């Protein structure tokens, strides 16, 4: 994937709210509600524009900040780690990448949510780099459907979607013992 930050597609605060609503709807034990709407807007602004003179440069740095800010700042009453994970997966997918996480992500999310200072940013960014791959071409229609619902966004061109491993369907919030692309 080209690291040109001008071509990166970002989630909006409304998108993150919608992702959270889907998580609440699909998990009966998850309480609905927003505890800090400003943190959601800040997250979106931070990954796009940066803060205090530091702008995340790469797609992986931006994905890390998205994951970190939702998990650590707890903008929702419940479901923050799941919302952080799903938002990161969708952010990558909108940009032509598949986030192929394993159980390590659960440890990362828990650490971000409970003691953010214990998390080594660089190690998580390396983890994200090692667990992303180009999105398989058969996902182009799904991505274009998502993009058609986001105002002012052009559809992915065939050049921005790459060949990839076999398609695997699993529970999107599940944590498997193996990598998500292993059968």
Q: Look up residue 94 and give its two tokens.
A: 């909108």
Q: Look up residue 143 and give its two tokens.
A: 């991505």
Query: What homologous superfamily is domain 5-160 in, according to CATH?
Result: Fic/DOC protein, Fido domain (1.20.120.1870)
What pLDDT does residue 14 have? 92
Phi, psi of 178 (to 5 degrees): -110, 170
Q: pLDDT, tens digit, for every residue of 34-62? A: 999 899 999 999 999 888 878 898 999 99
Q: Give 120 or 2, the one with higher predicted confidence.
A: 120
Non-local CB neighbours of 115 within 8 Å, separated by 6+ positions: none
- CA 116 centroid distance within chain: 18
CB burial readout 52-88, b (16+ within 10 A) else e: eeeebeebbbbbbbbbbbbbbbbbbebbbbbbbbbbb
Q: pLDDT, tens digit, for every residue of 83-105? A: 999 999 999 999 999 999 999 99
- CA 8 centroid distance within chain: 13
Distance CA 56, CA 133 (A): 20
- CB distance 96 to 156 below 8 Å: yes
3-class DSSP state of 99: strand
Q: pLDDT, tens digit, for every residue of 118-167? A: 999 999 999 999 999 998 888 877 777 766 665 444 444 434 333 333 33
Domain boundaries, the chain: 5-160
Pick the range with the lowest mean pLDDT from 12-26, 66-80, 115-129, 153-167. Answer: 153-167
Q: Please, which pLDDT band fits residue 117 given cuts at 50, 70 and 90?
A: very high
Q: What angle do CA 104, 47, 2 make, to 5 degrees?
A: 80
């Amino acid at each position: 994937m080209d690291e040109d930050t001008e071509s990166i597609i970002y989630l909006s605060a409304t998108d993150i709210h919608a992702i959270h609503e889907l998580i609440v709807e699909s998990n009966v034990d998850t309480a609905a509600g927003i505890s800090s709407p400003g943190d959601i807007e800040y997250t979106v602004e931070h990954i796009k524009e940066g803060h205090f003179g530091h702008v995340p440069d790469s797609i992986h740095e931006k994905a890390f900040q998205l994951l970190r800010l939702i998990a650590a700042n707890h903008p929702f009453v419940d479901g923050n780690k799941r919302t952080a994970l799903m938002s990161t997966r969708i952010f990558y997918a909108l940009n032509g990448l598949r986030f192929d996480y394993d159980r390590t992500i659960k440890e990362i999310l828990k650490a971000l949510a409970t003691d953010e200072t214990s998390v080594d940013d660089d190690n998580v960014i390396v983890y994200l780099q090692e667990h992303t791959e180009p999105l398989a071409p058969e996902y182009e229609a799904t991505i274009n459907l998502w993009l058609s619902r986001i105002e002012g966004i052009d559809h992915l061109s065939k050049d921005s979607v790459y060949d990839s491993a076999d398609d695997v369907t699993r529970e999107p919030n599940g944590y498997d013992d193996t990598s998500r692309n292993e059968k």
